[in-house]
Amino acid sequence: MSETVAIASSRVLVGTSLIPATVVIGDEVITEVTPGGPTGEAEDLGDLVIMPALVDTHVHVNDPGRTEWEGFTTATAAAAAGGVAFIVDMPLNSIPPTTTVAALRIKQKAAKRGMVDMGFWGGIVPGSLGDVAALAAAGVFGFKVFLVPSGVNEFPCIALRDLDAALEAVAEVGLPLLVHAEAPGPIEAAPPPGADYASYLASRPPEAEVEAIEALIAAVRRTGGTAHVLHLSAAAAVPALTAARADGLPITVETCPHYLALCAEDVPQGGLDFKCAPPIREAANREALWQALATGVIDMVVSDHSPCPASLKADGFANAWGGIGSLELRLPVVWTEASARGHGIADVARWLCSGPGSLVGRSATIRPGEPADLVVWDPEATFIVDPDRLAQRHKITPYAGRTLRGVVTRTLVRGGPGPGKLVEHP
């Protein structure tokens, strides 16, 4: 039996409303939510916001095999510092990739040293469809595929024509197919990247995303499988997704903080910290993504935390690693940009908590009986991003020196400060 604790604030997010309330926690779950001021021996947090903890369903921990890139110890420390109580680890860039049950067990063993709860995606590569059922039975939450080279040789991409088979395989086990949605044709036809960011942006044109997403929509129509579009960057794909959603197709969509906060026009000369795939596009594209988020075409905002050693963020845009480490900064980055556009805390909670939570069946709401995963934060406080103070292993971020709004003061994982536990899909 765990100790019963209570915390109170004048701003507790209950449903979509911020109200004065006391939240009582016992045995790792919320036992009471009492409207009004602090009751009993509740800890009074003043006007700090209490809301559901963040869920991040797109994290590359890279452990084992490339633990020097990140690792479960530092990744989960960054998650906890950023208000995240549950992460779902991608099937790459660890070695071995999570395409077999044996590889999953190796990863689960490595993950037993985390500060937050952890789940795992499986992966599908050419020739691995036979492993889907066993991985699903072992507890993965779904399966990821690439349609272009992933950046690591041990996780090759599938072809567009293979989408039907992949969707059919995951449909048989009742799980979603997560798709890195860039098609190879437009990328192969584009000029290769050179020394500057403009050439890198041109090398991964929006047409690659549009073509891949249209092919995915068609495959979902044919198969009835459930699909999730990863890290949407190109707003040009929004009309096709809007139509697919209007037709009731089982497709969800995510984007990332860097596509909502950064823009190509602001990438400095030699700014390799900004390189990711798909790329950060122009300011007008950014604002169109915000519109799609506001209207619900985009369901969630996840980090796509993909850090690496400084040595790999070198040698020009053609060769530098394409990933951004932002696990700890997701809440303040999104809140800074969202609040400037008139969005509220309930909107941010939908995009960062319940949206990604719904993808993996993780509750993210404050009510009795729900897991006591909570974040306490100050939405008015500001800070300047100091990379050296980040908990991630390598202190590389395009947000260095930026002033952000929103300071996390506490993260509760099942009512306490951790440690985390491994979570399997039921």
Domain boundaries, the chain: 5-44, 52-363
| pLDDT for res 295 | 97
Query: What's the alpha-carbon Rg for the chain, to the nearest Å?
Result: 21
H or E, element range at 18: strand 17-26
Q: Within its chain, how far is the Cα of 288 from the centroid?
A: 20
The interaxial angle of helices 206-223 and 163-172, nearest 10 deg, is 50
Cis peptide preceding 52, ω within 30 of 0: no
Residues 86 and 56: beta-carbon distance below 8 Å? yes
| pLDDT for res 1 | 37
Return the CATH number of 52-363, one of 3.20.20.140, 3.40.50.620, 3.30.1330.10, 3.40.50.300. Answer: 3.20.20.140
DSSP state of 182: -
- Complete edge-to-edge strand list for the sheet that includes strand 54-59: 54-59, 84-89, 117-120
| pLDDT for res 2 | 59
Cis peptide preceding 64, ω within 30 of 0: yes
Residues 60 and 70: beta-carbon distance below 8 Å? yes
Q: What is the pTM of this model?
A: 0.97
| pLDDT for res 195 | 85
Residues 187 and 204: beta-carbon distance below 8 Å? yes
Of 17, 83, 35, 22, nearest to 347 (Cα)?
17
DSSP state of 58: E
Of 39, 48, 35, 41, nearest to 9 (Cα)?
48
Mean pLDDT in consecutive groups of 10 residues from the start of the chain, 426 residues: 84 97 96 91 96 98 97 97 98 97 97 93 98 98 98 97 98 98 98 93 98 98 98 98 97 98 96 97 98 98 97 92 96 98 98 98 96 98 98 97 98 92 91
Residue partners of 123: CB distance under 8 A and separation at least 6? 90, 91, 92, 97, 98, 99, 143, 144, 145, 155
| pLDDT for res 137 | 98
b/e map 316-336, b = 16+ CB within 10 Å: ebeebbbbbbbbbbbbbbbbb
H or E, element range at 395: none
Residues 231 and 254: beta-carbon distance below 8 Å? yes
